[in-house]
Amino acid sequence: MSEYILEMKHITKEFTAVKALDDVNLQVRPGEIMALCGENGAGKSTLMNVLSGTYGYGTYSGDIVYNGETCQFHSLRDSEAKGIVIIHQELALSPYLSIAENVFLGNEQVKMKGVIDWNVTRAKAGELLKQVGLGDENVNTPVIQLGTGKQQLVEIAKALGKKCDLLILDEPTASLNDEESMGLLMLMKELQKQGITQIIISHKLNEISFVADAITVIRDGHTIETMHKDVDYSLDTPESYKKLEDRIIKSMVGRELTNRYPKRHGITIGKEPIFEVKNWNVYHPELTDKKVINNVNLSVRPGEVVGLAGLMGAGRTELAMSIFGRSYGSNISGEVYINGKAVNTHTVAAAIDSKLAYVSEDRKTYGLVLIDSIEFNMTLAAMSKYFSKNGILNRNEEKLKSEEYRKRINVKCNNIEQVVGSLSGGNQQKVVLAKWMLTQPDVLILDEPTRGIDVGAKYEIYEVINELAASGKAVIVISSDMQEIIGTCDRTYVLNEGEICGELSGDEITQENIMGCIMTHNNRKGAAS
C-alpha cells in the first residue's frame, strides 16, 4: 500500500486552445483533509471534474492513481463506484422532492428492480441525517423549505448514503453564514474521524487553515506548492497564522499583496448627507403581516463608504432591494432623500432616474444577461437615458463607452462583444459594476460585491469603490465578510432582524464590536418577548 490514497500525476487538460490544467500533481494521504486553493479560473474545479470522471478518461492526459490502482473514469458513475463522491458548489438537489428522496437520489433503495422501498428509504435517510446533525428534520420535508446551510448538509448525507471513502467539497461554505460554516467544518472533522478522506475547495483562508491537514495551491493550471500542517506551517500563534495566510495569498496570486484592502487617499467626506432613508418599514411580500424591516434610518455623505453589516437573514438585501424600486416586499413606507430632496423610488426606472444604483447580490440571477455581450450588459441600465434618443439606440456611443469602461476597470476579455457567461466570476462582477457606473449614480449600493471572486479581482473592485468615493459619490457596501466591512468602510450600520442595532465608525469597526451589537440586540429582543 502506498503512502497516498490518491495521486494525480501530470494531469493536463485542454479546452479549445486553452490549457486549463498543465502538468498538475496532487497527492492526498488516507484520512487527511486536503484543501485546494487558488483564484477563480485557476483550475481547481477542472481538476476535481477530471478526478470525478465528469471529464472522462481520454479527454485529459496524465494518471489518476487511487488506492494504488491506476483508474480510468469515464463518468461520475465510475468514480462513485470506487467511493469518490463530489459535492458541487451548485447543489444537486431536486427542490420539491423530500429530504429522504433527495438523499437517495440516483441511489434509490429498492425492493425489487425499479420499485422503491419507502420504509428503508425513510429509515436510512433518518440515520444519515442524524450523522450530519440534521436529526431533528422530518425526512418528508421538501428540501426547498430548508435553508442553504441545511441543504448543504443534505448533500453530505446523500454522499454518505453511497460508498464514500473520498469526499470532495467544492466551496461548500460559499453561501453559508459563519455559524453554518462552522457547523460544516466541524462535521468535516467528525467525518475525518470516521476515516473519510476529504478534499475541500475554498476561498476562505481562515476555514482552510482551521480544517485542513495539508494545503495545495493551484495557479493558472499549475500546482504551485503543497504545505503540510506541522511540517511546513503551524498555527500555534496568531503570527504563524498570519504568516501562513500571506504565504497562501502569495502563491495564489503570484505576487505579494501587502494589503488586501487598498489605502484611500485624499478623500474628503462632505458634511451634508447625500443619501438619507427615513422611517423605512417593509413587510414580507407573501406573509404580508410579517414585518421584515422595522423603522430603519440611515444616511450617507458624499465620499463616504458605509457598510451594512449583519448576519445572513438580517434583512440587508431586503432593505436595499425595497429601497431600489420597491423590488422586494409589500406595504412599504418611509422616505428616501437624495441631495436633501425627497425622491421617488417606486419603480426601478424611477430609482435609476433619481441617481440611485443597486449592484445585486447574485450576479448570475439578478445582474447579468449571461447569453449577451459585455457591451449589451454594460449599457443595459443606462440605455434609455444615456445611449438613446427618442427610443433609438446610439450603437457607436455604446461601443465607445463599453470599451472605455472595459479598460478602466480592467475586465479581462477578448473584446466587448464577448458573451458575459464565458467570463470568470470576478470579471462578470466588474461588468455589473460598470453597468451601474454607466448610469452615473450619486449613490451606489453594492450587495456582496466580492462574493465568490478571487483575491486579485477583489482588490480591483475595492479600488473601484475607492475611486467612486473619491469622485464624491456615496457608496453603501453590504457584506457578510466582516473583514471586508472593516477594510473598506468609513462607517457601518449593523443590521439584525430587520432593525439597525448599532452604528460604528473608524476604529470602532471591529469584528468584536459588530458581533457585540448583534448579541446585545438579540438579548434585548429575547428579553422583550
Partner 1 sequence: MKNNKNTINIDLKQYSMIIILVVVYLLFALITKGMNMTPASVNNLVMQNSYVVILAVGMLLCVLTGNVDLSVGSTVAVSGAAAGIAIVDMGLPSPVAIVLGLLVGLGFGLFNGFFIAYVGIPPFITTLATMLMGRGLTYTVLAAQTKGPLPNDYNFLGSGFLPSIKIAGNMELICIIVAIAVSALVVFNELKDIATRKKYGFPGHPMWQLGIKDAVILVIVWFFMIRLGQNRGLPVVLILMAILVGLYHYITSQTVAGRQIYAMGGNAKAAQLSGIDTKKVFFWVYTNMGVLAGLAGVVLSSRNASATPKAGDAFEMDAIASCYIGGAATAGGIGTVIGAVVGAFIMGTLNIGMTLMGLGTDAQKIVKGAVLLGAVTFDLVSKRKK
Residues in touch with partner 1 (CB under 8 A): 16, 324-325, 327, 347-349, 351-352, 358, 360, 365-372, 376, 380-381, 383-384, 388, 391-393, 395-396, 399-400, 415, 435
Nearest to partner 1 of 186, 369 (CB atom): 369
Nearest to partner 1 of 191, 352 (CB atom): 352
The C-alpha cell 488586501 sits at 260
Nearest to partner 1 of 127, 353 (CB atom): 353
The CB-of-377 to partner 1 minimum distance in angstroms stands at: 8
The CB-of-376 to partner 1 minimum distance in angstroms stands at: 8
Instruction: Return all residues near 11 (Cβ < 8 A) that are at least 6 apart.
Output: 21, 23, 24, 25, 26, 47, 50, 60, 61, 62, 63, 64
CA distance to 74, 164, 364, per residue, from 53 (Å): 5, 15, 27
Nearest to partner 1 of 325, 498 (CB atom): 325
The CB-of-354 to partner 1 minimum distance in angstroms stands at: 11
Nearest to partner 1 of 100, 352 (CB atom): 352
CA distance to 48, 332, 434, per residue, from 300 (Å): 45, 21, 22
Among residues 189, 339, 278, the alpha carbon closest in space to that of 500 is found at 278
Instruction: Return all residues near 410 (Cβ < 8 A) that are at least 6 apart.
Output: 430, 460
Nearest to partner 1 of 41, 441 (CB atom): 441
Nearest to partner 1 of 278, 399 (CB atom): 399
Count of beta carbons in the 10 Å neighbourhood of residue 362:
14
Please tell me the distance from the alpha carbon of residue 355 to that of residue 440, in angstroms, as a whole number: 7
All three cell numbers of 1: 500500500
All three cell numbers of 204: 476562505
Paired with 282 in beta bridges are 293
Q: Are 221 and 19 spatial neighbours (Cβ–Cβ below 8 Å)?
A: yes
Nearest to partner 1 of 104, 358 (CB atom): 358
Nearest to partner 1 of 206, 384 (CB atom): 384
The CB-of-345 to partner 1 minimum distance in angstroms stands at: 11
Nearest to partner 1 of 67, 388 (CB atom): 388
DSSP 110: B
Among residues 313, 291, 274, 324, the alpha carbon closest in space to that of 442 is found at 274
Nearest to partner 1 of 114, 391 (CB atom): 391
The CB-of-403 to partner 1 minimum distance in angstroms stands at: 9
Nearest to partner 1 of 237, 365 (CB atom): 365
Instruction: Return all residues near 153 (Cβ < 8 A) that are at least 6 apart.
Output: 129, 132, 133, 134, 183, 184, 187
Nearest to partner 1 of 288, 347 (CB atom): 347
DSSP string, 269-321: --SS-SEEEEEEEEE-SSSTTSEEEEEEEEEE-TT-EEEEE--TTSSHHHHHH
DSSP 143: G
The CB-of-451 to partner 1 minimum distance in angstroms stands at: 16
The CB-of-24 to partner 1 minimum distance in angstroms stands at: 24
Q: Are 62 and 9 spatial neighbours (Cβ–Cβ below 8 Å)?
A: yes
Count of beta carbons in the 10 Å neighbourhood of residue 171:
19
The C-alpha cell 486552445 sits at 17
The CB-of-470 to partner 1 minimum distance in angstroms stands at: 26
All three cell numbers of 168: 470532495
Q: What angle do CA 305, 359, 245 make, to 5 degrees?
A: 65
Among residues 122, 123, 127, 172, the alpha carbon closest in space to that of 150 is found at 172
Residue 389 DSSP SS3: strand
Q: What angle do CA 126, 132, 136 make, to 5 degrees?
A: 50
The CB-of-444 to partner 1 minimum distance in angstroms stands at: 14
Nearest to partner 1 of 406, 521 (CB atom): 406
Among residues 323, 275, 320, the alpha carbon closest in space to that of 300 is found at 275
Q: Are 121 and 107 spatial neighbours (Cβ–Cβ below 8 Å)?
A: no
The CB-of-55 to partner 1 minimum distance in angstroms stands at: 15
